[in-house]
Amino acid sequence: MISLLACNQREGGIIIAGSTSVQPFIEKVAEHFMEKHPEIQINVQGGGSTAGIQATFNKICDIGTSSRNLEISEKDLKVIVIAIDGIAVIVHKDNSVNNLSTEDIRSIFSGKIENWQDLGGRDEKIIPVTREEGSGTRGCFEDMIMGDGIISDGCLVQDSNGSVR
């Protein structure tokens, strides 16, 4: 779920901060809005879902964006759902492994499986790529796939979905 979290607008414009996966969409929305309302300046910033939620909660920004659900302690914010998104686990097109179970994916990202050969592929090291802590995408992945498991420090960490891609 992708959400907008609202608090009051400040003088001089609107600050929107949060999810880097929502950021490109919000930048386009802000651009179109400012064309129709040139008297209002909108500043869009990233930082991740948790940063956006905290910035909104602490009134550092006017609108926070999040690609994760709110925690119980964050429920005082007003949530406006703007889209529902999904997470995909992909492998390179030349990889012969084409069917991974949830348990396989969990084992890869926890570091228990480190070679494609263990999954019926070639004898090649697996290099899992994940988002940084605080990312809504990572939080959803942890909730949906990892459960009680922990993402290995051996994963390559990227700070945006574009970098992961």
Q: What is the pLDDT of residues 54-85, one digit of tens each?
A: 999 899 999 999 988 888 988 889 999 988 87
Provide the 3-class DSSP secondary structure of residue 81: strand
Write out pLDDT tens, residues 117-154: 999 999 999 999 998 888 888 888 999 999 999 999 99
Q: Output the CATH code of domain 102-164.
A: 3.40.190.10
- Do the domains 2-83 and 102-164 sit in the same CATH topology, yes or no? yes
Whether the pLDDT of residue 27 is over 80: the answer is yes
What are the sequence ranges of the domains in the chain?
A: 2-83, 102-164
Contacts of 133 (CB under 8 A, 6+ apart): none
Minimal CA–CA distance to 132: which of 161, 157, 106? 157
pLDDT at residue 1, as a whole number: 54
Choose between 134 and 22: higher pLDDT: 22
Instruction: Supply the DSSP symbol for 59.
Output: T
In CATH, what class is 2-83?
A: alpha beta
Contacts of 30 (CB under 8 A, 6+ apart): 16, 42, 44
